[in-house]
Amino acid sequence: MASTSAIPSSRTDADGALSPLDRVVRWLDHMPSPALACEISPHGVAAARGAKHRVALEAHAFEALPAGAVLPSPVEPNIIYPDAVRQALQRVLTSVAGHDAGTVLVIPDQVVRVFLLPFDNFPHRAEEAIPLLRWRLKKSVPFDVDDTVVSYAVQDSAPKPTESGALLAAGGVQVLTAVARQRIVRQYEELLESVGRSAGVVLSSTLAALPLVDDTHPSLLARLCGRTLTTVIVRRGVLAVYRCTEMPAGADALAPQSLLDEIYPASAYYHDTWGEPVAQARLAGFGGRYEEFREVVERELSCKAAPLSASAVLEERPVGEARATIDRDFDALVGWMLYREE
């Protein structure tokens, strides 16, 4: 396992003080907190430098990539035009300046497979936990589990309903597990290294954006990047549902019913499992068709929907110009700035 990788977490803190969403990106006993972050995605390269004492982007830059330069896959090579990606990465990092060698590297959701695995008992030591997780995932991933970066966070299981309909705390634990093929992750890390930077933290795009979701009440995030839809439901510090699906079209041509076909089953599963409905929805990546999708989601899920930038998490913080950039190309990087604040 590359020593700089953190996809997304390794273990819980001994005192349990951190919520699971905080723990999602903690690496072993602590995690570096670089102020500089970059994201490599199929449509472009983004970089941002955070302020030292507040959640704001002191500088940010984005450069589009040629079509086909990056083709995310958990199995096949991702970087098709390395020179084009390297040059764009060099320009955006130069634009945001900053002298720290350590950088947060955000990679596409398709590269990192995320699972919620139930256990009656789970080892406390990472040396015992990682082989157990690899064994559980052996038939669930399309690659050799021995050639993987595996990390995890232990969180509460869903409550169990009684005959009267009341909910009781479930026994055992649920382990949020992220796994990626090591050689694919290294493609992204090597690009960063080729421009004189090192990846202090590596995590997938939607996991980086999660701090923007207010989880005081059960919240659904539907985040579209190109044709990839990632659906997440969080509740009071627990990641309860995670789905990453290839859609038939991107935001410009996607039928609203196709979106509902993905998020409604996730919402229904959450309701059945946790005994409560989704209370709000956040949408990202729908561009000029946001209002069209918002109306459909509100009608079908019977809850309010809003853009990710409308999160109450940001209302409490002096985000500077960050809010204006979230709905464009920087939601994952702004989310990382919130992780740094914790």
pLDDT band at 225, cuts 50/70/90?
very high
Over residues 3-32, mean pLDDT: 38
pLDDT of 12 strictly over 60: no
pLDDT of 14: 34
Token pair, residue 316, equals: 């409490």
Q: Which among 73, 65, 69 has a CA at the least distance from the CA of 91?
A: 65
Measured distance CA(102)–CA(48) in Å, rounded: 13
pLDDT of 45: 96
Higher-confidence position of 28 and 337: 337
pLDDT tens string 235-276: 988 899 999 999 999 999 999 999 999 999 999 999 998 889
Helix (H) or strand (E) holding 296: helix 290-301
pLDDT tens string 34-81: 778 999 999 999 998 876 655 567 788 999 999 999 999 999 999 999
pLDDT of 21: 40
Higher-confidence position of 25 and 94: 94
What are the chain's domains?
Answer: 20-207+331-341 (3.30.420.380), 214-310 (3.30.420.40)
pLDDT of 30: 39
pLDDT of 22: 41
Over residues 160-176, mean pLDDT: 62
Higher-confidence position of 324 and 291: 291
Measured distance CA(38)–CA(60) in Å, rounded: 9
pLDDT of 59: 83
pLDDT of 322: 54
pLDDT tens string 98-128: 666 678 899 999 999 999 999 988 998 989 9
pTM as predicted: 0.85
pLDDT of 242: 96
pLDDT of 194: 95
pLDDT tens string 183-220: 999 999 999 999 999 888 888 999 999 988 988 899 99
pLDDT of 328: 65
pLDDT band at 325, cuts 50/70/90?
low
Residue type, 207: L
pLDDT of 324: 58
Beta strands across the sheet bearing 57-64: 57-64, 44-50, 36-41, 102-107, 198-204
Measured distance CA(193)–CA(199) in Å, rounded: 8
Q: Is 99 exposed, middle or buried (0-12, 13-18, 19+ CB in 10 A)?
A: exposed
Measured distance CA(232)–CA(34) in Å, rounded: 26
Measured distance CA(290)–CA(286) in Å, rounded: 5
Q: 91 to each of 84, 95, 229, how far by Cα in Å?
A: 11, 6, 29
Helix (H) or strand (E) holding 306: strand 304-307
Work out the mean pLDDT of the chain and round it to a whole number. 82
Cβ atoms 236, 215 nearer than 8 A: yes
Over residues 154-170, mean pLDDT: 60
pLDDT of 321 strictly over 60: no
Within 42-87, strands assigned E span 44-50, 57-64
Measured distance CA(105)–CA(9) in Å, rounded: 14
